[in-house]
């Protein structure tokens, strides 16, 4: 395996999946977001978002809090310290891969 292929293989596959990358990108830009905000901004169906959030939560990347706003249930999501570190590492690795390919950004 070439060094470049090894670098690609070492990407965090949990984050690299496009829908989960979208979720992590959104949560990285805000302190927390409710389920409906994530659904709307990411263009997800309810079931799709729920499934991806579950995977991120199982990995310890996302914290999910269920509460009520008045009588309305509210699901609030935020990146954990582990999630922030994983995303930072993923971002650095991607930047390195893109730079080594002559892509600037």
Q: What is the mean pLDDT of residues 79-98?
A: 93
Q: What is the mean pLDDT of residues 67-73?
A: 92
Check whether domain 3-95 has CATH 1.10.10.10, yes or no = yes
Q: What is the mean pLDDT of residues 57-81?
A: 96
Q: Tell me what pLDDT residue 9 has.
A: 79
pLDDT range class, residue 105, cuts 50, 70, 90:
low
100's tokens:
């080594």
Quick check: 23 pLDDT over 80?
A: yes
Quick check: 35 pLDDT over 70?
A: yes
Domain ranges of the chain: 3-95
Contacts of 70 (CB under 8 A, 6+ apart): none
- Distant-in-sequence contacts of 97-103, Cβ < 8 A, 24+ apart: 97/4, 97/7, 97/8, 100/4, 100/7
Average per-residue pLDDT in the chain? 92
- The rounded distance, in Å, linking the Cα atoms of 71 and 8 is 47
């Amino acid at each position: 395996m070439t060094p470049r292929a090894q670098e690609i293989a070492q990407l965090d596959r949990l984050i690299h999946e496009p829908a989960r990358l979208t979720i992590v990108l959104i949560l990285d830009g805000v302190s927390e977001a409710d389920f409906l905000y994530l659904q709307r901004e990411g263009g997800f169906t309810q079931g799709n978002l729920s499934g991806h959030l579950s995977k991120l939560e199982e990995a310890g990347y996302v914290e999910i809090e269920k509460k009520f706003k008045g009588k309305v249930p509210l699901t609030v999501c935020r990146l954990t310290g582990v999630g922030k570190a994983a995303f930072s590492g993923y971002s650095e690795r991607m930047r390195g891969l893109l730079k080594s390919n002559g892509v600037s950004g």
